[in-house]
Amino acid sequence: MKQELETIQADALSAIEAATDQKILDEARVAFLGKKGRLTAASAAMKDLPNEEKPAYGQALNMARQAITAAIESKLAALQEEADKKSVEGIDLTLPPRELLEGGLHPLTLIKDRAIQILRRMGFALAEGPEIETEYHCFDALNTPDDHPARNEKDTFYFDSGKLLRTHTSSVQIRTMEKATPPVRIIAPGSAYRRDEIDATHLSVFNQLEGLFVAEDVKLGDLKGTLEYFLRALFGNETEVRFRPHFFPFTEPSFEIDVKLHVKGQAPKWIEVAGCGMVDPAVFASLAESRGDDLFDPEKVTGFAFGMGLDRLAMIQWGIKDIRLLIENDTRFLKQFA
Ligand code: DAH
């Protein structure tokens, strides 16, 4: 009987040793330790032994089982290690890892977000309007006469339908007031389009931020205070701001706003950042007519409006000398903002 056990153990160990993969190893386990395995059969035979031989036989059985189990475990570990080695064959694990590119926001997004944040704190809500506009919303309703140069085919992208790519975000003023009830206090950031020759300060697609405040008794001082506060919040408390009389069809009086730019090693200079003014009563009058009510009757409400170039604000904020850098997506440029 003992002899038999020794044979089983020897056969098991050589079968385990010969296994070349986990499946074959498992077959060997089943053949010896499984329900119908050889060692299992041998332990069943114990009951036929005389009592005095049972303990020794039991011990021998246990030892055989332990030896086979240990052999299976160590073979399994060896097979696993071999498989691991194979899976990294040809891969140089000492190579440094590839550089992870870090994302960041585009400077235009940064400046737009900042501007929105400041103006929302002052009570302005976001508004929007379509980029493909009607002549009515872009010009007529903004008191812009037929022969105004901005309406020229040379300056504006027209579609065959007669619609156009909005030349400014001021159309959102009209879109908003068509539906709103005063008081109205909105800002509208967005793209505008002009058939400009592209150079260091002009793009044919650029970004503006429009603002409008309409209520009873809005005054020029409100306009001035709001925009001065805004520009100082954006560029710093020391920022010098200047309002220069100008003309826009939809505001009266109208101004251009300049910010004094200090560049190291250069004489400071004034840079235009926005147009603004008190909403022209003619704009309210035309609205009253199209709405068919008197909520925007120029006798009842007044307002101020402004429109600034976000590209321009970004250029001032970071001393960017060429506006084209903002659309070229050169990572060497963009990385500086990430
Ligand atoms: N729409 C003007 C432009 O694109 C800017 C502007 C000027 C907007 C005066 C206004 C404003 O709202 O009141 O040049």
Is residue 326 scored above 90 in pLDDT? yes
Q: What is the DSSP letter of 202?
A: B
Binning pLDDT at 50, 70 and 90, where does residue 44 land?
Answer: confident
- Would you state the pLDDT for residue 16? 94
Report residue 77 as tokens.
């570990």
Is residue 300 scored above 80 in pLDDT? yes
- Would you state the pLDDT for residue 150? 86
- Would you state the pLDDT for residue 102? 80
Check pocket membership of 168 for ligand 1, CB cut-off 6 A. Answer: yes
- Would you state the pLDDT for residue 105? 95
Average pLDDT of the segment spanning 168-186: 97
Average pLDDT of the segment spanning 231-236: 96
Is residue 56 scored above 80 in pLDDT? yes
Is residue 173 scored above 90 in pLDDT? yes
Atom 12 of ligand 1: nearest residue by CA position: 306
Return the bridge partners of 135, or none: none
Is residue 170 scored above 90 in pLDDT? yes
Mutate to test the pocket of ligand 1, among 276, 283, 302, 304 (most ligand atoms within 8 A of CB): 276
Is residue 266 scored above 80 in pLDDT? yes
Report residue 84 as tokens.
């691991």
Buried/exposed 25-61: b ≥16 CB within 10 Å, e otherwise:
beebbeebbeeebbbeebbeeeeeeeeeeeeebeebb
Atom of ligand 1 at shortest range from CA of 251? 13
Binning pLDDT at 50, 70 and 90, where does residue 135 land?
Answer: very high
Backbone torsion region of residue 66, taken as left when φ is above 0, otherwise alpha when ψ lies between -120 and 50, otherwise beta:
alpha
Q: Are 49 and 57 in contact (CB under 8 A)?
A: yes
The span from the CA of 327 to the CA of 329, in Å, is: 6
Q: What is the pLDDT of residues 79-100, one digit of tens each?
A: 999 999 988 888 988 899 888 8
- Would you state the pLDDT for residue 4? 87
Q: What angle (nearest 5°) sits at the alpha carbon of residue 139, between those of residues 137 and 141?
A: 55
Report residue 232 as tokens.
């100082």
